[in-house]
Amino acid sequence: MATLAALIPGLALGLLVVAGSSRWQFVMSRVVDLGVALPGILVALVLATAIGPGNVAAMAAIAVWFVPILARLMIGPARQILAYDYVEAAYAYGRSRWFVLMRHVLPNIRSLIIVQVTIMFSLAINVEAALSYLGVGAQRPTPSWGRMLYEGQPFIQDAPHLMIYPGLAITLTVLAYNLVGDGMRTWFDPQQKAKAVAR
């Protein structure tokens, strides 16, 4: 939910950056870079603490952190597509910049967005587990692997499985999402697909 909640604002911010003038793009790109440069877990922790512990706080914190990442992901490829000849032809035909962005830019970076969203699922799981471990994520009675790790910590010598199983669940789930993301990147990218077939 946090990833999906960040999807529309992130894409909208990226489009707003590339839709403006060169000066606007320079200023907004630096703002987006600043958001990306901030440590994600620190941003999520501060926001979750300010909002209050719970599922909503964790989702909101993760979503706010993901918005500049998605915007940064769009800016570079969108600028490349806007330099293509068929885009210049669309402008010569009288199409507006927003029409070009929606008709030509978004469809051409759709695969990149899908792959990034898949990878961000694994990031969201890691951050939510960290927030719950620190006590500002999901609260009882909602189950959370991060809180299970925290509550099993005092029993690590007598019952280590209380920490091993949640840790394995987090690790395997994150690994699965990363493998899915790598597979989708290979599927959507013709060059990567050709390399995979050659192997």
In this predicted model, what pLDDT tens digit does every residue of 114-169 receive, in sequence order?
888 888 888 888 888 888 888 887 777 888 888 898 888 889 888 889 889 999 99
Amino acid at 100: V
- Give the predicted TM-score (pTM) of the model: 0.77
Tell me the CATH number for domain 2-198. Answer: 1.10.3720.10
Task: Provide DSSP, 24-89.
Answer: HHHHHHHHHHHHHHS-HHHHHHHHHHHH-SSHHHHHHHHHHHHHHHHHHHHHHHHHHHHTSHHHHH
Residues near 29 by beta carbon (within 8 Å), at least 6 away in sequence? 17, 75
Number of C-beta neighbours around residue 7 at 10 A: 18
Cα–Cα distances in Å, from 70 out to 23, 35, 77, 129, 161?
21, 11, 12, 22, 37
The residue extents of the domains of the chain are 2-198
**43-90 per-position pLDDT tens digit:** 777 877 787 777 887 888 888 888 888 888 888 888 888 888 888 888
| Environment class of 115 (CB within 10 Å of its CB; exposed 0-12, middle 13-18, buried 19+) | buried
